[in-house]
């Protein structure tokens, strides 16, 4: 019942880029050093952010990363989904086949969790990185 370490690193990497208001391209090593993220692991995490349209990458000398869209267009949910895939509180919410006998409509627990999950998802969607920028140091 916890976001994983990769997601936490991703939050911090995205916030680092978002704090860089001059839209400069920032190399992975700079982010890794600033946020104390293992370099090779960060590179791997960045790729899932790229695949989900959250950041862009630039190769070669002077290469690095920048946000692919405005900070206000990137939510915590976007980052979580990019790194971990869809958010589901219980496996019966992924596929009804996990609901031991029947499906959603006959299971009181399923229905209760579905509601709680909806709230969690909208909580994550309601926070974007523009709100987080500048507020504090990003550490």
Partner DNA sequence: TAAAACTATACCAAAAAGGTATACTAAGAA
Partner DNA sequence: TTCTTAGTATACCTTTTTGGTATAGTTTTA
Residues at the site binding a second copy, with contacts judged by CB under 8 A: 1-5, 7-8, 11-12, 15, 35-36, 76, 80, 84, 87-92, 99-102, 105-109, 111-113, 115-116, 119-120, 123-124, 127, 131-133, 135-139
**Structural contact between residues 94 and 88, judged by C-beta atoms closer than 8 angstroms:** yes
Nearest approach, Cβ of residue 131 and DNA (Å): 25
Backbone φ, ψ for residue 55 (5° rounding): -125, 165
With CB under 7 A as the contact rule, the residue among 33, 40, 70, 94 that binds DNA is 40
Sign of the C-alpha dihedral computed for residues 59, 62, 65 and 67 taken in this order: negative
Sites for DNA among residues 50-69 (CB under 7 A): 50, 57-65
Helix (H, G, I), strand (E, B) or coil at 128: strand
Structure tokens given for 35: 């946020």
Sites for DNA among residues 93-132 (CB under 7 A): none
Separation CA 107–CA 40 (nearest Å)? 44
Residue ranges that bind DNA, judged by CB under 7 A? 4-6, 9, 27-29, 38-41, 43-44, 46-47, 50, 57-65, 84
């Amino acid at each position: 019942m916890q976001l994983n370490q990769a997601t936490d690193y991703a939050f911090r990497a995205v916030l680092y880029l978002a704090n860089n208001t001059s839209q400069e391209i920032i190399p992975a090593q700079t982010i890794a050093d600033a946020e104390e993220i293992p370099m090779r692991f960060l590179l791997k995490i960045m790729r899932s952010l790229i695949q989900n349209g959250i950041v862009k990458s630039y190769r070669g000398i002077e290469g690095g990363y920048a946000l692919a869209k405005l900070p206000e267009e990137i939510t915590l949910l976007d980052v979580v989904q990019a790194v971990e895939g869809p958010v589901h509180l219980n496996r019966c919410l992924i596929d009804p086949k996990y609901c031991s006998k029947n499906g959603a409509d006959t299971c009181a627990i399923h229905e209760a969790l579905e509601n709680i999950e909806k709230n969690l998802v909208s909580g994550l969607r309601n926070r974007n990185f523009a709100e987080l920028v500048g507020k504090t140091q990003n550490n």
